[in-house]
A and B are shown apart, each in its own frame.
Chain A
């Protein structure tokens, strides 16, 4: 456990109707820490990170981000969302706006930056994800890997303290996974706090400080990557890793 958690989750419980999707989740993430969350589908890993920026409501527990507490009624949702960037499995770029407009929308309307400043800042982030030449293109004209890199740049334009990734490479063609993972590795190298839901075990080994394994809505096992992959403790973890690392 880190001394200085930037994301704190305590006693988190969530139900979809009668279905208990998150059960007694406790997790503290230190500043600059990279957490990879894995687990079988339906285990609640996406729901967990979607709770952190209040895309999902929850019934019990507390979540704090950078000292801001998000109660069960999501009172401070706007403050939290300003601190947390999110990248989705299906990119969710705005198709009617150019790449540049995608990246300046929130800075202009949420941070109240001038259009000129927002564009200059957006171009910096697009350069960081190595795609500045596509600034005037529409998302539909880009490959999946390019779109996901734009999505990462778009989230970064809000200067988030934490980045959430919800299976960022699952919708990509095999040849494009690497360019997105490379971008994420760069981001990790810059010290960004990251929570990544992914099945890319190579990425987890290379970048993660800790790996969280979930099943049936609860955390089964948390460990550093080396011992997690080489000597899993829980029977469920062994079974899962046996299935995916043939």
Chain B
């Protein structure tokens, strides 16, 4: 019993925390099998894993066919067992998945562009490397121009490859990267505009955001591809892919705007007031104090919409652009490779590619988050 009046006579020295039950068996006993309900749950989860992982591995690896030159290699009748994945199909169509109908003799131009992009992007993603400003300028300003000249041609003796011949991974990456990069400044401008105290700016931003968010992406793509040319004067045309790129960027920009606005709202008013009191202009306050904090808050939301955008690029196949998934469906039509597992193999392959891209983005964003939020760890 504690006394009513007490004066401490000794100071309690800090002791080590009690040791938890160690090892894998300790974990299993204390976390997985420590009550009847948990035993049941553990058992159910184990069963679920058993019934999903085993068939997947069986299909992709064990029962798969690895070599062959046409559909016969993947028919159960010729192989003698129920065939899993038909990998020769992917091998045969691989270059189509990457380049689409880009002329074979000119494919080095696509490879060069991929390589150049990777060489410029990789150092940009590693925070420790120097010269970020120059690197960013090269990637965001110089690279798009070089990439367009290389891919499209028509300059310096390069033959023109019209964009309707582009396809596969090339189109997917062009649409996704352009969409992600171009939607950021659009989103920031719209988010700031929507919070403007000037009614004209505020209302036009609200109208713009609500319009683009309210319309399905498919409608946007359709309109950009088939309706817009009808409204434009006779011989004035904008390339089909460019129209799609603009549509995707504006669409994604409207979504980003609302994500970024959420971040702006999370910044206490005192931050902008303190910056103003120091004599910083509205632009500097926004650029140096408000935006850096707001964007850090919304990295998860932004990455969410980037990932959604990457996967939504597959919708361009609706307007006769053959992205990775469109190219895959074109490959299904080839009678030389029609077999019971062709369809599953194709979707498994593209699924893995999309997953690797999206998972990579997700992991990288976590890394950036941890780095930029160093100040929140005290």
Residues of A within 8 A of B (CB): 53, 55, 78, 81-82, 84-86, 88, 90, 92-97, 105-106, 109-110, 138-141, 151, 154-155, 158
In the complex where A55-B273, A140-B375, A140-B376 touch, is A94 in contact with B279 (Cβ < 8 A)? Answer: no
In the complex, residue of chain A having the shortest beta-carbon distance to the beta carbon of B292: A96
Bound together, the chains give a CA A13 to CA B368 distance in angstroms of: 49
Closest to B274 in A: A92
State how many angstroms separate the Cβ of B291 from the closest Cβ of chain A: 10
Q: Which residue of A lies closest to B373 (CB)?
A: A96
B277 with A94: CB separation less than 8 A: no
> Smallest CB-CB separation from A164: which chain B residue?
B277
Residue contact B270 to A90, C-beta cutoff 8 Å: yes
Q: Is the CB of B273 within 8 A of A88?
A: yes
Taking a contact as CB atoms under 8 Å apart, the answer to whether A94 and B289 are in contact is yes
* Interface residue B278 (Cβ < 8 Å from any Cβ of A): yes
User: Hey, which chain A residues are within 8 Å of B276, CB to CB?
Assistant: 55, 81
Tell me how far the C-beta of B268 lies from the nearest C-beta in chain A, rounded to whole angstroms: 8
| Choice from A81, A82, A88, A106 contacting B270 with Cβ under 8 Å | A88
CA distance A90 to B270 in the complex (A): 8
Please tell me which one of the listed residues B273, B281, B293 contacts residue A95 in the complex, with CB atoms under 8 A apart.
B293
Residues from chain B with Cβ under 8 Å of A138 in the complex: 374-375, 378
Shortest distance in angstroms between A212's beta carbon and chain B's nearest beta carbon? 21
Rounded to whole angstroms, the CA-CA distance of A110 and B288 in the bound complex is 12
**A151 vs B278: C-alpha distance when bound (angstroms):** 11
5 tightest A-B CB contacts, nearest first: A92-B274, A138-B375, A106-B278, A92-B270, A86-B277
| B280: Cβ under 8 A from any A Cβ | yes
Which chain B positions have C-beta within 8 A of A151? 274
* Contact, CB under 8 Å: B278 / A110: yes
A140 vs B374: C-alpha distance when bound (angstroms): 10
Q: Which chain B residues in 259-279 approach chain A with CB under 8 Å? A: 268, 270-271, 273-279
A113 to B139, CA, bound (A): 31
Determine if B213 is an interface residue (Cβ-Cβ < 8 Å): no
Closest CB-CB distance, B198 to chain A, in whole Å?
Answer: 15
**CB-contact partner of B279 in A95, A96, A141, A158, under 8 A:** A158
B271 touches A109 (CB 8 A): no
Contact A96 B277 (CB under 8 A): no
Q: Which residues of A contact B164 (CB under 8 A)?
A: none
Residues B361-378 near A (CB distance < 8 A): 372, 374-378
Question: Which of A88, A96, A158 neighbours the largest number of chain B CB atoms within 10 Å of its CB?
Answer: A96
For A86, list chain B residues within 8 Å (CB): 274, 277
A82 CA to B278 CA, complexed, in Å: 7
- Find out whether the CB atom of A105 lies under 8 angstroms from the CB atom of B378: no
Expressed in whole angstroms, the Cα–Cα distance for A85 and B277 within the complex equals 7
Is the Cβ of B274 less than 8 Å from the Cβ of A94? yes
Distance in Å from the Cβ of B267 to the closest Cβ of chain A?
10
Question: A141–B289 Cα gap in the complex (Å)?
Answer: 19
**CB of B58 within 8 A of chain A?**
no
Residue B132 is within 8 A (CB to CB) of chain A in the complex = no
The answer to whether A96 touches B284, judged by C-beta atoms less than 8 angstroms apart, is: no
Min C-beta distance of A239 to chain B, whole Å: 32
CA distance A136 to B378 in the complex (A): 13
Please name all residues of chain B whose beta carbon is closer than 8 Å to the beta carbon of A84 when the two chains form the complex.
277
B202 at interface by CB-CB < 8 Å: no
Question: Contacts of A105 on B, CB cut-off 8 Å?
Answer: 275, 278, 280, 288-289
Q: Is B296 an interface residue (CB 8 A)?
A: yes
Docked complex Cα distance between A246 and B377 (Å): 42
Q: Which of B197-230 contact A (CB under 8 A)?
A: none
Instruction: List residues of chain B with CB within 8 A of the CB of A106.
Output: 278-280
| Bound CA–CA A238/B50 (angstroms) | 81
- Residues of B near A96 (CB, < 8 A) are 292-293, 296, 372, 375
A88 touches B280 (CB 8 A): no
Offer 22 A-B interface pairs, CB within 8 angstroms, sorted by A: A55-B273, A55-B276, A81-B276, A81-B278, A82-B279, A85-B277, A88-B273, A92-B268, A92-B271, A92-B273, A94-B293, A96-B292, A96-B296, A105-B275, A106-B279, A106-B280, A110-B279, A110-B280, A140-B377, A151-B274, A154-B278, A155-B278
Other CB < 8 Å A-B pairs besides A94-B289, A110-B280, A138-B374, 11 of them?
Answer: A85-B277, A92-B271, A93-B274, A96-B293, A105-B280, A105-B289, A106-B279, A110-B279, A139-B375, A140-B375, A158-B279
